[in-house]
């Protein structure tokens, strides 16, 4: 019996983790817990600073701009547009099958606040993803955790379905 844990630094270790069904999942702390709690309830909430009237994400203990500690959590619609995306053609992170898309989303409520939510884009072909594509949130259960994920919104243009 060995105690050896998979070595995440190596490709072999990543394959071992995959075989064991281990997928990367958030390890929330006091600052980030509300985000993941909301996701468990299938809600998307991000931080809002009422002092400078702006959203921020990822969450931080204080407002990044004005340092105000009075920061609240606000529900947002889950609608947004793709700020940018990559298509990973080689295994990058354990738990993923290449190729896969990683995108950053500007939520419509926070369009001018430099808020980018990292996500995959599901529900369409990789080659359907385009810049500024309208997308909407859904929640994907992974090993008991609900992750916010994004898919094309009804008004997105899906090339492969035309």
Binding segment (CB under 8 A) for other proteins, from list 47-55, 69-77, 142-150, 152-160: 142-150
Shortest Cβ distance from residue 160 to other proteins (Å)?
A: 17
Distance between CA atoms of 60 and 30, rounded to whole angstroms? 10
Q: Residue from 12, 25, 69, 72 that binds other proteins (CB under 8 A)?
A: 25
Longest dimension (CA), the chain: 57
Q: Residue from 12, 131, 157, 159 that binds other proteins (CB under 8 A)?
A: 131
- List the interface residues with other proteins, window 44-73 (CB under 8 A): 57-58, 60, 64
Shortest Cβ distance from residue 114 to other proteins (Å)?
A: 5
If 0-12 CB within 10 Å is exposed, 13-18 middle and 19+ buried, where does residue 13 land? middle
Distance between CA atoms of 29 and 50, rounded to whole angstroms? 23
Query: Does residue 120 touch other proteins according to CB under 8 A?
Result: yes
Distance between CA atoms of 94 and 117, rounded to whole angstroms? 20
DSSP 103-146: EEEEEGGGTTTT--EEE-B-SS-GGG--TT-EEEEEEEEETTEE
Binding segment (CB under 8 A) for other proteins, from list 24-32, 47-55, 73-81, 151-159: 24-32
Give the binding site for other proteins (CB under 8 A): 5-10, 13, 17, 22-29, 32, 57-58, 60, 64, 83-90, 92-96, 100, 102, 104, 114, 116-120, 131, 142-143, 147
């Amino acid at each position: 019996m060995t105690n050896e844990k998979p070595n995440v630094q190596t490709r072999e270790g990543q394959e071992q983790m995959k075989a064991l069904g281990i997928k990367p999942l958030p390890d929330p702390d006091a600052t980030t817990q509300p985000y993941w709690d909301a996701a468990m309830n299938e809600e998307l909430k991000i931080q809002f600073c009422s002092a400078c009237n702006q959203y921020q994400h990822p969450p931080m203990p204080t407002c990044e701009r004005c340092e105000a500690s009075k920061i609240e959590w606000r529900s947002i619609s889950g609608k947004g547009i793709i700020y940018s995306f990559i298509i990973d053609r080689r295994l990058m992170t354990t738990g993923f099958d290449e190729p896969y898309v990683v995108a950053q989303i500007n939520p419509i409520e926070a369009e001018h606040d430099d808020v980018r939510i990292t996500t995959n884009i599901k529900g369409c072909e990789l080659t359907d993803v385009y810049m500024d594509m309208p997308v909407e949130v859904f929640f994907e259960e992974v090993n008991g955790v609900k992750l916010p994920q994004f898919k094309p919104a009804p008004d997105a243009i899906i090339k492969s379905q035309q």
